[in-house]
Amino acid sequence: MADGFDSSRAVSLDKTGKKDSDMESKSYPTQPDNPYSQYSSTAHHQPDYSQFDLVRATQYGVFDRCHELVDKEGVDVNTLDKENVSAIHWAAINNRIRIAEYFVSKGAAVDQKGGILNATPLHWAVRQGHLEMIVFLMKHGADPASLDIEGCSCLHVAVQHSQMGAVAYLISKGMDVDQLDRNGMSPLMWAAYRCFGLELTRMLLTMNASVPLADKFHKNTALHWAVMSNNHNVIRALLKAGASMDALNAEGQSPYDLAKQKKSKWILFQMDLLSKDKGQDKPVFLQTLTRDKAVQRYIQIGLPFFVLFSVGAILEYSSSWVMSLPLITAVGIISYYALQWFTLNYSHGSATVFGWTLATKAYLYYNILTVYLHYILSKVVLSRASFFVNTVGLYYCFYKSWKTDPGYLHATTAEQRKTIIELVEKNSFDLTKFCSTCLLQKPIRSKHCAVCDRCVAKFDHHCPWVEKLCGCWKPSVFLWLPVFLFGMILWYIYGGTVYYVMSCGPYPDGVWNVIVQSTHCAPWVTWGYINALFHVMWVGALFFCQCYQIFWLAMTTNERLNMSRYSHFSHNSGVQMSPFGRGLLGNIADFTNMSLCGLVRPLRVDWHRQYDCELTGTEKTV
């Protein structure tokens, strides 16, 4: 095949991955760089169309000349040229739909084989990725399972040349995702060996391609083939899908052996990470626990509780820094090894950050309930009300943001394949608007979350503090959460200040003397006070940043960070403008889903089904 090894070359690879020197690359002809370049339609001079034979007229797309030759001069549309190629082959590879329709109406054989590889017109169309031609030929009876001289079906050719649209369409129309060619190679093996982009491999895996399947001659799995071709991009996806690093081929070599033999450091690094996740380099007595995902999660969430409360206790009960420093160091060492043993290296996310959220809240509330109540709540009614409102609001928003579906895009296997067929047959299959993992057309403003491994409508960001996505469902919850959290932290700082004044005063002059006396007076409270001061800064910054993005820019966090990637953001005087903005008042109304005293009414948009910038929502009535 062009642009890489063909199937006969692939199965002739020895265990080192080197090809036999006597194998010759074959290709389907292409335009203009092809063995038939004398027919290229990119000539610089204007040719005399009246002198064209049927082949050249087809290549140039001169319909009138084709009609004249067949209808008036009696040329047979199934006549083969000197290269054993029919006219409909040339129509297929040049995507001449009108001419192909005419040839079929005149009795052209859609499954006629020809050319160097004895392939069908459908093979030629698939090789070039002409989806419109593929649909046309298949509607007129072309057989995608027909094999060329190398034993490859149209599905194998599509994979070999990274034609994702063709692959998706052929499988959706019923071709077996694990169909083997004459050499026993599956589409996934070809993708691992030939396709250095991740999308095609990821799509085949979503379509349930068999990962442990081995080829007929070499007994190589897809992971073997990926290692042999140094295809670093797909290694991670195959390993996550369950590919075995220990599977042996006909030579008795595993993928890991091949990686070491080829000295592929990056591939070995990826495999070593997965080995660590399986506990292979961890203490024997811990290997069972470290492989248990539930245990890993509990440890990751519980570790921040251990650190926060242990450090607080050490500061409170140690008589001097001579005792405190070794104990705090021990806590750090224990935490480090716990993270090493119980955190997945191969995972995008970790529950540790979520654990810090819970642990910080627990520590602060413990101090409020056991220390501050006596000094504040019993004397000031307003402080009681603010404490109650902030507490209820904080935990309500936290629970809703944690447990509510953020707006995931759902589709069954049947719906996925129906969508692919409809998009291809309507000639609207666009890879930039199609998710190769979820197999669905992506609505505008949606994105595939790498942590959740799912697409979400109106994607904003994945928040590690609540272990949840912020999407189109009730984004106001994610805005109110930092509001109440900010208020709660300020309340804690206020309470701590009152406590210091009433319990640790009077203070000497000088800021440093105040800090030292407060620390000596109440180390446990001071540890919480330090944490509160740290959190109040980033929570406040987050809140004001979100308000600016939502109400002024009318952008999500993802759009603001990656707006150069999205064509629907227009440039105006050097500033990128959002097409979804309706002015400050309109943006506030849309976000809150409330009418602003009749001045502006909110626009309801179903972001699960909105595919362009022309908003088709309805205004909410008062």
Kindly name the residue from 195, 463, 470, 472 that is annotated as catalytic: 463
If you search the block for the tokens 């590919």, which residue do you land on? Answer: 243
Q: Where are the alpha helices (DSSP H) in 464-510?
A: 475-504
Question: What tokens appear for 601 in the block?
Answer: 């009414």
Residue in 410, 411, 1 with CA at minimum distance from that of residue 172: 411
Q: What is the CA radius of gyration of the chain?
A: 33
Buried b (16+ CB within 10 A) or exposed e, 253-280: bbbbbbbeebebeebbebbbebbbbebe
Q: Angle at Cα 457 formed by Cα 593 and Cα 424, nearest 5°?
A: 135
Residue in 37, 40, 1, 38 with CA at minimum distance from that of residue 19: 1
Residue in 160, 127, 116, 120 with CA at minimum distance from that of residue 141: 120
Residue in 305, 328, 304, 306 with CA at minimum distance from that of residue 316: 328
Answer for the pair 126, 157: CB distance below 8 angstroms, yes or no: yes
Question: What tokens appear for 477 in the block?
Answer: 């919850």
Question: What tokens appear for 271 in the block?
Answer: 């495999």
Report helix, strand or coil for 332.
Answer: helix
Amino acid at 411: A
Provide DSSP, 39-55: G-TT-SS---GGG--HH
Answer for the pair 181, 152: CB distance below 8 angstroms, yes or no: yes
Cα separation, 501 vs 512, in Å, equals: 15
* 463 is a catalytic site residue: yes
Beta-bridged to residue 214, according to DSSP, are 221
Question: What tokens appear for 112 in the block?
Answer: 């006629």
Q: Quick one: CA torsion of 79, 80, 81, 85, rounded to 10 degrees?
A: 140
Active site residues: 463
